[in-house]
Every structure is written in structure tokens, then in C-alpha cells.
């Protein structure tokens, strides 16, 4: 710590505060508009039919499989005897794809899905539970499931 760099002449505190105030006001005005969030889900893939023959893991409670419906990347989870849950398998934290037994782990007892990339956890409805901050819920999709027949349908329009 042996050298000293001379500071240039600076403007006053008043001018700083004035500039800061003007900048903040302009930013606030700009923030009032122009934000937009729009989607297009025009039905190219409106539903996904499945059965336990195609996805044997769904024959038992606690089973989980990855299924694609067009570009929709799903996890199908046999939550109970009568229920199958369908969630988007792209983690909302860092977008890891929760491939069963690789990146995604379903705890049948706790009914909790863990993304092993960074241990974000979600419940069977996709609700974010724990893990790194700033994580949104996983999109979930309504499922009709006939346990006796072992068949079901995921309504992708319901996300």
C-alpha cells in the first residue's frame, strides 16, 4: 500500500442526488409499460394418452416415468393407487431436466420430487417446497386415470 492515485474533481452531492432522483423517476415511468407475457398453446398436442403397458413403472405406486407430448416434457408419477400426477420435468431453478433415476427422484413416502442438480424439491402438484431461492412451481397438468384399466389421459391444455 505505497501508492496514491489523485482523485479527479467531482461534482457536488446535490448534483448527484438530483441525477439520482431524475434517473429513478425516469426508470419508474418506463417500468409502467412495455412488460409483456404471452404464450401460444394452440392445441397441436392437447392431451397425452398413456397406459401402464407402455409405462410399466406406473403400475406400482411410487413409479415415475418421463413422457414427451410434442415439446412438452413431462414426468408421470404414480402418486397413489388411484392417482397419477403429470408435471413438467424441466426444473424451474436451473432448467435441469429431471430424468427419472438420473436427475429426478420421487420419494413415494414423502410424496416429494427432488431435482438432483441442486436439490430443489416440489410436491405432487408441482408446488415448490425447498431448495435454491427464486424457484417457481413446476407446471402441472390435470390427469384422468382409470386404475382398473391402467389407462389415463393428461390434459396439456390445463397447465
Partner 1 sequence: MRAALCAMTRALPLAVTACLLFGAASAEALPRMSLTAGSPCATCHVSPQGGGPRNEIGWGSELFTRAFGFASVGLPKLDEQESNTFFEGKAMIGIDLRAQLARLGRPKADPSANAADATFSGFTPGTKPDLVYIPMQFMPYLTVLPTEWLTVTGSYNISTLAGSQYPGQMPWEAQVILHGDPMLPTLRAGMIQPTIGIRQDDHTMLQRADAMDPRRPLIPAGYAEWGGELSWHPISWFRVEAGGFLNSNLREASQARVADPVRTSSDGLAYSGRLSLMPQFLDLGLNTWFGASVLGAGELMAMHAFAGVGKNEWGSLQIEAARSTGASGYTTTAFTALASWTAKEWLVVEARGEMATSHADLSGGAQDSETRQLVLGVQFFPLPYVELRPEYRLIKVSHKTAATDEYILGQYTLQTHLFF
Task: Give, for 27, the enclosing helix (H) or strand (E).
Answer: helix 13-31
Name the segment binding partner 1 (CB under 8 A); options: 49-57, 74-82, 93-101, 106-114.
Answer: 93-101
Q: Confirm or reject binding of residue 36 to partner 1 (CB under 8 A).
A: yes
- Total binding residues toward partner 1, as defined by CB under 8 A: 62
Cβ-count burial 47-73 (b if 16+ within 10 Å, e if not): ebebebeebebbeeeebbbbbebeebb
Q: Confirm or reject binding of residue 8 to partner 1 (CB under 8 A).
A: yes
Q: Which three cell numbers stand for residue 100?
A: 427419472
- Of residues 18 and 53, the one with the C-beta less far from partner 1: 18
| Residue 52 · residue 149 · CB < 8 Å | no
Name the segment binding partner 1 (CB under 8 A); options: 78-86, 106-114, 126-134, 143-151.
Answer: 126-134
Among 21, 22, 25, 41, which residue interacts with partner 1 (rule: CB under 8 A)?
A: 41
99 secondary structure, DSSP code: -
In the complex, minimum distance from the CB of residue 19 to partner 1, in angstroms, rounded to a whole number:
7
Q: Confirm or reject binding of residue 23 to partner 1 (CB under 8 A).
A: yes
| Residue 133 · residue 89 · CB < 8 Å | no
Q: Which three cell numbers stand for residue 45?
A: 398436442
| Residue 152 · residue 50 · CB < 8 Å | yes
| Residue 144 · residue 152 · CB < 8 Å | yes
Among 76, 78, 84, 93, which residue interacts with partner 1 (rule: CB under 8 A)?
A: 93
Among 47, 51, 57, 73, which residue interacts with partner 1 (rule: CB under 8 A)?
A: 73
Q: Which residues bind partner 1 (CB under 8 A)?
A: 1-8, 10-13, 15-16, 19-20, 23, 27, 30-31, 34-45, 66, 68-73, 90, 92-97, 99, 102-103, 117-120, 131-134, 136, 139, 156-157, 159
Amino acid at each position: 500500500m505505497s501508492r496514491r492515485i489523485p482523485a479527479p474533481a467531482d461534482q457536488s452531492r446535490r448534483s448527484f442526488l438530483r441525477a439520482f432522483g431524475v434517473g429513478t423517476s425516469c426508470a419508474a415511468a418506463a417500468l409502467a409499460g412495455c412488460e409483456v407475457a404471452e404464450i401460444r398453446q394452440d392445441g397441436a398436442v392437447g392431451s397425452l394418452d398413456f397406459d401402464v403397458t407402455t409405462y410399466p413403472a406406473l403400475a406400482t405406486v411410487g413409479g415415475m416415468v418421463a413422457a414427451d407430448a410434442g415439446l412438452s416434457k413431462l414426468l408421470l408419477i404414480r402418486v397413489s393407487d388411484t392417482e397419477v400426477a403429470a408435471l413438467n420435468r424441466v426444473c424451474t431453478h436451473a432448467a435441469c431436466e429431471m430424468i427419472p433415476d438420473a436427475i429426478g427422484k420421487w420419494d413415494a413416502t414423502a410424496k416429494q420430487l427432488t431435482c438432483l442438480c441442486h436439490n430443489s424439491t416440489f410436491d405432487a402438484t408441482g408446488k415448490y417446497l425447498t431448495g435454491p431461492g427464486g424457484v417457481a412451481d413446476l407446471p402441472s397438468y390435470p390427469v384422468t386415470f382409470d386404475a382398473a384399466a391402467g389407462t389415463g389421459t393428461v390434459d396439456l391444455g390445463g397447465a
